Amino acid sequence: MKNINAVITGVGGYIPDYILTNDEISKMVDTTDEWIMGRIGIKERHILREDGLGTSYMARKAAKQLMQRTKSNPDEIDLVIVATTTPDYRLPSTSSILCEKLGLKNAFAFDLQAVCSGFLYALETGANFIRSGNYKKIIVVGAEKMSSIVDYTDRATCPIFGDGAAAAMLEPTTEDFGIMDAMLRTDGKGLPFLHIKAGGTVCAPSYYTLDNHMHYIYQEGRTVFKYAVANMSDTCKSVMERNHLSKEDIDWIIPHQANMRIITAVTQRLEVPSEKVMVNIERYGNTSAATLPLCLWDFEDKLKKGDNLLLTAFGAGFAWGAVYLKWGYDGKR
């Protein structure tokens, strides 16, 4: 009997309407379009501004489009994994809210929190459920309302992040396509360099934590930058080596969209030309777990059946990794 593998059979996405430009950010903090474009490479990011709407709103829009494009019936969905660090609530899970909104009756669902590497972790997790033979349709979502944890008085972080969601359908195949390999890593030494100080179980919310902006992202950018470049390029190289892939064999690199200079440094180390690198950071900024599926969504019409894709991400934890996948269909669904 042939082994079962998991293949992506469609993608869906959603970006909120409101565009926060560098010029508008320059009115909030002491910065310029020139600095942001030169040091980060972001021109604009989209923000979910409407009161009462959270991450599940964007996840639902992305998943609905995915279900339409893959002609999936709600009753067929077995599992939903939502990679997010900005859930609607502490409890219940955002994925449970998504099940309700999508009318899924036969699925189980959970959230997965691995910050910017969330989609990579969720993809490999979902693939293993498919490989077990017991699951036929799995929705893997990366969705974030990063604007809810960004301090818009801090010029070192507020230009970086944006909101958005995208989703991929995983289904079984016995052909030579799909998630071929994954190398995922976690090292908790990253805590001091990238974290949110309050609101968890160590430091409960209080007037003090609110007054001192302790519910927002704190990062030491230079240190994160250095680890991101080294770890993303090293895991990509390891995955290429153990799958006997030369740089010519790679059709597309899909890097986490955190900083254009990080993307350039990683792809230069891999010696892959820029035409083979998916980049949309200029328009969306860093949407954390949503960056990778948003790239697939944006570039879907350029993808061909059999293309070799290398996805890589790095983020808080530190958590990082690379996934090698063989694309399963031609063009846009």
Ligand X SMILES: CC(C)(COP(=O)(O)OP(=O)(O)OC[C@H]1O[C@@H](n2cnc3c(N)ncnc32)[C@H](O)[C@@H]1OP(=O)(O)O)[C@@H](O)C(=O)NCCC(=O)NCCS
Residue number, 105 or 222, with CB nearest to ligand X: 222
How many C-beta neighbours within 10 Å does residue 165 have? Answer: 32
235 Cβ neighbours under 8 A, 6+ residues apart: 183, 185, 312, 320, 321, 322
Q: What does the CA dihedral 237, 242, 244, 245 come to, rounded to 10 degrees? A: -30
If one asks whether residue 104 binds ligand X (CB under 6 A), the answer comes out as no
Query: In the bound complex, what is the minimum distance in angstroms from residue 53's beta carbon to ligand X?
Result: 24
241 Cβ neighbours under 8 A, 6+ residues apart: none
3-class secondary structure, 137: coil
- Distance CA(134)–CA(99), nearest Å, equals 19
If one asks whether residue 311 binds ligand X (CB under 6 A), the answer comes out as no
Query: In the bound complex, what is the minimum distance in angstroms from residue 65's beta carbon to ligand X?
Result: 26
If one asks whether residue 235 binds ligand X (CB under 6 A), the answer comes out as no
- Per-residue contact flags (x/-) with ligand X for residues 263 to 292, judged by CB under 6 A: -----------------------x------
If one asks whether residue 108 binds ligand X (CB under 6 A), the answer comes out as no
Residue among 152, 225, 299, 329 that touches ligand X (CB under 6 A): 225
The region of 34-42, 239-247, 299-307, 324-332 touching ligand X under the rule CB under 6 A is 34-42
Residue number, 72 or 231, with CB nearest to ligand X: 231
Would you mind telling me the total number of residues written for the chain in this entry? 333
126 Cβ neighbours under 8 A, 6+ residues apart: 6, 79, 81, 138, 140, 170
- Per-residue contact flags (x/-) with ligand X for residues 57 to 96, judged by CB under 6 A: ----------------------------------------
How many C-beta neighbours within 10 Å does residue 245 have? Answer: 18
What token pair was written down for 8? 């992506």
- Distance CA(247)–CA(268), nearest Å, equals 11
If one asks whether residue 185 binds ligand X (CB under 6 A), the answer comes out as no
Residue number, 177 or 314, with CB nearest to ligand X: 314
- Distance CA(184)–CA(247), nearest Å, equals 21
Residue among 258, 270, 272, 325 that touches ligand X (CB under 6 A): 258
Query: In the bound complex, what is the minimum distance in angstroms from residue 165's beta carbon to ligand X?
Result: 17
The region of 76-84, 220-228, 270-278, 297-305 touching ligand X under the rule CB under 6 A is 220-228
If one asks whether residue 255 binds ligand X (CB under 6 A), the answer comes out as no
- Distance CA(202)–CA(137), nearest Å, equals 38
Residues from 114 through 153 that contact ligand X (CB under 6 A)? 116
- Distance CA(56)–CA(97), nearest Å, equals 7
Query: In the bound complex, what is the minimum distance in angstroms from residue 258's beta carbon to ligand X?
Result: 3
3-class secondary structure, 104: coil
If one asks whether residue 28 binds ligand X (CB under 6 A), the answer comes out as no
Q: Which residues bind ligand X (CB under 6 A)?
A: 31, 35-36, 39-40, 116, 155-156, 159, 219, 221-222, 224-225, 228, 258-259, 286, 314-315
